[in-house]
Structure 1
Amino acid sequence: MSLVSGRAVRTAAVLLPAAVAAAHVGPAATWLPGVRLPLFPGLAGTGPGRHIALTFDDGPDPASTPRFLEALDELGARATFFVLGEQAVRHPALVRETVRRGHELGVHGWTHDRPWRPAFARDAEEVARTVRAVHDLTGHRPRWYRPPYGILTTSRWLAARRAGLRTVLWSAWGRDWTADATAASVRARVAADLRGGGTVLLHDSDRHAAPGCWQATLAALPTVVRDCREAGWTVGPLRDHGVVPVPVHGGAVVPAELVGE
């Protein structure tokens, strides 16, 4: 092997893993609102301007999720709960009760891990496994996917697409997973970013957050819903949000995650 070819091989050995890693984590830039909201409105959950999609992550949790179900009943509101597969199979009755009360289930992954290393086969299996669990427990096949921490990678996006799920992040959140979250701070944080057609991210569990932080979310929930209604917006699950794939260029379809109405 010549000196030049040897250097080329060593350079490729360094650059190839870096390129693979960059391709894997590149979509994670959509976590940033400055990237997601203007460039990928569909991924941000942008829908019709008169509707707000209300979503919760990290359940089901028997310590807290029933409290949210009761509160939503009192408010006459329905929501989409992005569930973790491992939690769903541990608490099947709670999963069924959530659907019985008229709420929708989405997929949040099997576990709540950070996806820094490419793992195409594992991500595909875990997303599909959660889809099967939700379907087996409720008889309903989920339509939506939101990755843990909102960190979207190429392998997780492909896993969702392979499972027939649309990936939806959010356009407003309450930062309700922190130890210093209060009802007032959750309400204010949602209001700061919320516009008609937005998707709100909240959490119905503290299993992957500061202990007890769900109580701030629960206390803020009536005011968040009231604020939306006073602004003239209806509140409901993603299934009522009206975001669909858009055909373009002679029948080709833009991935639904990347467009908005």
Structure 2
Amino acid sequence: MSLSPVRYGRSPAWRAMTVLAPFATVAALHIGPAVTWLPGLRRGVLPGLAGTGHPRHVALTFDDGPDPASTPHFLDALDGLGVRATFFLLGESVVRHPALTRAIAERGHELAVHGWRHDRPWLPRPARDRAEVVRAARVVGEVSGSRPRWYRPPYGILTSGRWAAARTAGLRPVLWTAWGRDWTADASPASVRAVIGTELRGGGTLLLHDSDRTSAPGCWRAALGALPDVVLGLREAGLSVGPLAEHGTGVRRGAPR
């Protein structure tokens, strides 16, 4: 008597894994670069992305503008302090407020790209990322009359699509080494100063927000209230404060400028 071989089919779980594996690979490739959001990792491994520059300089940067309700207050405060900064702008807000965008540039500040809108990049969409970052870079350049150099994605989340989009647009991604946690409802000038005091050192890039459009209403007042003491404190420590263009990002720490 001969026995027919027994054929065992794959289990439902195995079949599901087979179907989902390509999608999991795509998702991993898409979101993998976002690990650079981790401050310790980027400071140690990718100092240029972290915004590490000359050790006697601090780069002052603002995200989420331009916003007519708040940005002018920051421009006045910076004028009073004699400080220039880098403003990472949203393309859709630039189109909505071109006069304010020009005013930021005319008052001596550096303009950079924060994307077209402030959205989260959980789903892969490389074509849309490329189109929106290129569009944002174009409108910032057209309105201000100066081609932007820097790109900081919303939430600081760099996906593979956003990396590629920045390269296509001729932009250099840069995040930050310290922030003021100024986007929360309970932020205050004192809390912003305290957080910055524990995180910021010479050579660092500081992230603040000149708008509450994507955060708690009115929270921009915490950053604005903290700004004079932060700048004066850095100067008392022997540090200069200015935009990324003057920061020497990518220069070896300790090297002459």
Evaluate the alpha carbon distance shift between residue 65 and residue 260 of structure 1 in structure 2; reply closer, same or farther with a 3 A threshold: farther
Match of 1:82 among 80, 85, 88: 88
Q: What percent identity do the matched residue pairs reach?
A: 64
Which residue number corresponds to residue 109 of structure 1? 115
2:156 corresponds to 1:153: no
| Partner Cα distance (2:184, 2:145) in 1 | 35
Which residue number corresponds to residue 51 of structure 2? 45
Q: Deviations along 1:119-174, whole A, 9 cap, x unmatched?
A: 10000000000011011111100000000011111100110011110000000000
Which residue number corresponds to residue 227 of structure 2? 221
Q: Deviations along 1:31-65, whole A, 9 cap, x unmatched?
A: 11122211211110000101100000000000000
Runs of 4+ in 1 over 3 A off after TM superposition: 6-12
Which residue number corresponds to residue 31 of structure 2? 25
Task: Using structure 2 for the length normalisation, give the TM-score.
Answer: 0.91
Match of 1:72 among 47, 54, 78: 78
2:170 corresponds to 1:164: yes
Which residue number corresponds to residue 255 of structure 1? none
Unaligned runs of 5+ in 2: 1-7
Q: Which structure has the greater CA radius of gyration? A: 2
2:241 corresponds to 1:235: yes
The one-letter code sitting in structure 2 at the alignment partner of 1:145 is Y
How many residues align? The count is 247
| Partner Cα distance (2:205, 2:187) in 1 | 20
Match of 1:144 among 106, 125, 150: 150
Deviation at 1:227, TM superposition (A): 1.2
| Partner Cα distance (1:260, 1:47) in 2 | 9
Match of 1:207 among 178, 203, 213: 213
| Partner Cα distance (1:205, 1:10) in 2 | 45
| Partner Cα distance (1:25, 1:111) in 2 | 19
Which residue number corresponds to residue 91 of structure 1? 97
Task: Using structure 1 for the length normalisation, give the TM-score.
Answer: 0.90
Match of 2:132 among 122, 126, 129: 126
Unaligned runs of 5+ in 1: 247-258
| Partner Cα distance (1:199, 1:47) in 2 | 8
Evaluate the alpha carbon distance shift between residue 245 and residue 228 of structure 1 in structure 2; reply closer, same or farther with a 3 A threshold: closer
| Partner Cα distance (1:115, 1:245) in 2 | 30
Note the 1:154-193 alignment, pairs <5 A: 154-193=160-199
Q: Deviations along 1:89-142, whole A, 9 cap, x unmatched?
A: 100000000000000011000000000001100000000000110111111000
